[in-house]
Amino acid sequence: MLITLGIIGIVAAMTIPNLVVTYKKKQTVSQLKKVNSVLNQLILRSFYENGSVNNYLKIGAEVTADTTKKFFNTYWLPYLKVKDVIPDFQSPYSSDDFGYSLLDGSLYQFSIKTIYSNGRICVRLNDGTILLIYVMSWVLEENGNNVAKYTSMQRIFVDINGVNGPNTFGKDVFVFVIDFDKNVVRPYCYKDNNNYVNDNCKPNGNGFCCADKIIRNGWKISEDYPFD
């Protein structure tokens, strides 16, 4: 009996970790699919009810807090099941410093905060998912200054398990883009080739392309994916 129990223990020790990893992978993919569906529904409903984004944003204009608020409250907020919108200059995370890490272990050098004057809004959905929405892009001007300007191609950072760790790109933080001109949602890096996406979604990469890697693989996390 002791020998049998020992064998059962060995088998369990070998199989349970694999079962846990398999479950976590399926859960991650399921949450990504849900977010993708939410964003797709948002852009279709928003366009149907509000019309062109140019009604509220002058694309290429410098960002102001009032315009950002008006656009977000019209084109985003009514179409999300929001628990709370993070107040200006605050973060949903306990630290006011940098909230996310890259796959290579380094910090993402931007704080995860709502800053309307910089075109950034952070929201927490009812299921705990955190979205950091960029309604702007940085434009390098002739004088060498980087200036935040409005864009119809807006980037979203999605933390699928909220404030819980590891808060790392490619593990629980993923990047999407919404194109308000074409009314489509795509994973970040959708324009890049497979080699670029695979190199980005490696332990020494930053992980921005990992949602795209999962989607290109038929909504599956492949064996070479840096999941652990």
Distances (CA, A) of 156 to 36, 79, 202: 11, 15, 21
Q: What is the pLDDT of residues 32-56, one digit of tens each?
A: 999 999 999 999 999 999 988 887 8
pTM of the model: 0.88
pLDDT at 7 over 60: no
Sheet holding 184-187, edge to edge: 82-85, 120-125, 130-140, 146-159, 173-179, 184-187
Task: Grade residue 2 by pLDDT with cuts at 50, 70 and 90.
Answer: low
Read off the pLDDT of each residue in 175-179 and give the average, rounded to a whole number.
95
pLDDT at 192 over 50: yes
Read off the pLDDT of each residue in 11-32 and give the average, rounded to a whole number.
73
pLDDT at 17 over 80: no
Domain boundaries, the chain: 18-216
Read off the pLDDT of each residue in 185-189 and give the average, rounded to a whole number.
96
Phi, psi of 179 (to 5 degrees): -105, 105
Give the separation between CA 75 and CA 93, rounded to whole angstroms: 25
pLDDT at 11 over 50: no
Read off the pLDDT of each residue in 206-210 and give the average, rounded to a whole number.
97
Distances (CA, A) of 169 to 11, 41, 173, 176: 33, 24, 4, 12
pLDDT at 154 over 80: yes
pLDDT at 73 over 80: yes
